Structure formats: structure tokens, C-alpha cells
Amino acid sequence: LSFSKALQTYKSELGERHPITLRNVSNVSVLLLEEAEGLTKSEAKSIIDAAKFEMEGALGAFLSLNDSWAYRFDVASLKTNLGLVAVWQGKPKKARKLLKQIEGIEVLADSVLEKRIATLKVLLEKLEKEKEK
């Protein structure tokens, strides 16, 4: 898989915990999620699981850098993507927990990130209504 090779290259060149490496890992994970969108649920599962694993690792690494203000957009973006994965997996409680954490992070108004957070809210509300039935 070319994504796997790209991830290894980023990690080896700058180090696994360098912010640029973490951003690139996050970006490649988003590309994996986009690739999975066009597949059936069974085909997409392993791709989404791999992306989720990489994003969780990147999130943990950003949090360990102990500079929440400098990396707030990275953290908010990762949590948003993980929230979207939780919705896809049918886990509204996990998605709601992530959304509450995201809402405590200041993001730019009218940014792409703010729009993705709004999408997460809509999809989560839809999932919660489906689960109520």
C-alpha cells in the first residue's frame, strides 16, 4: 500500500513525534478515509481501522507535546476525524464525547475545520435518532 510507505517515510525523515510528521500522518489518514468512502462497509473496515489507529497515535503524540494552544487546530482536526469514524462505526457515545472535547477548543470561524465539525454534529444527531428507534 503506497500510503503505508508514505507514512514510514515521514516518520523516518523527521522522527515520529515531530509536528510536521504528525500532520502528514494525519493527512495520509484522511486520504485513507476518503478512499474508504467509495467502498462497501466490509471492504472499508480494514482501511478505516488503519486510519483510526494512525490518527489516535498522532493525537496522543500532539497531546504529549504539552502545547495545547500551538497544536489546537491539529488536535481539533484529529478529534473531528475520529468523531466521524465513531459515527461510521455506529458509536454515538464515543462521537458525542469527542464532540464535547472539540467544542472546548477555539477554532477559526468559517474555516474548513469549523465546517467539518458542523458536519460531525449533523451526522451524530442523525445517528442518535436512528439509535433511538
Mean pLDDT across the chain, nearest whole number? 89
pLDDT of residue 3: 65
pTM, rounded to two decimals: 0.85
> Which pLDDT band holds residue 1 (cuts at 50, 70, 90)?
low
- Specify the pLDDT at position 41: 87
Is the confidence at residue 102, as pLDDT, over 60?
Answer: yes
Q: How far apart are CA 87 and CA 3, in angstroms?
A: 24
Distance CA 54, CA 14 (A): 17
How confident is residue 31, by pLDDT bands cut at 50, 70 and 90? confident
